[in-house]
């Protein structure tokens, strides 16, 4: 059509490059998640609050309260770090 003929076997290189790009993306995604505290098994407890006490076992409710307190503390720390970084930048 345009006078350009590709030889047989060139598509394997496109597949190899696509696969390599996907693997690099996955590695960067996992690295980001690990640095941003995304692998927390207790995250499931963050959806509960005081109104759920009667729907949970006492030990589960205690665990959810502990997780909520820890996450609120960490949130305060992160916000303070961001605020300090913003002040240092100005």
List pLDDT tens digits, range 4-20.
Answer: 676 778 888 999 999 99
Please give the average per-residue pLDDT across 30-59, as a whole number.
Answer: 86
- Asked if residue 67 lies in contact with residue 46, where contact means CB atoms within 8 angstroms, the answer is yes
Range list of H helices, the chain: 11-35, 58-89
For residue 50, the model assigns a pLDDT of 84
pLDDT value at residue 3: 60
Residues 75 and 63: their CA atoms lie apart, in Å, by 18
Distances (CA, A) of 84 to 39, 57, 66, 88, 89: 26, 41, 27, 6, 9
Contact yes or no for 45/64 (Cβ under 8 A): yes
User: Rounded mean pLDDT of the chain?
Assistant: 88
């Amino acid at each position: 059509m345009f006078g350009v003929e590709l030889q047989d076997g060139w598509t394997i290189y496109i597949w190899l490059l696509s696969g390599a790009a996907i693997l690099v993306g996955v590695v960067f995604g996992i690295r980001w998640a690990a640095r941003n505290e995304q692998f927390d098994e207790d995250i499931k407890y963050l959806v509960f609050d005081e109104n759920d006490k009667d729907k949970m076992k006492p030990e589960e409710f205690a665990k959810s309260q502990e997780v909520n307190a820890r996450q609120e503390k960490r949130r305060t720390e992160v916000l303070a770090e961001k605020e300090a970084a913003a002040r240092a930048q100005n």
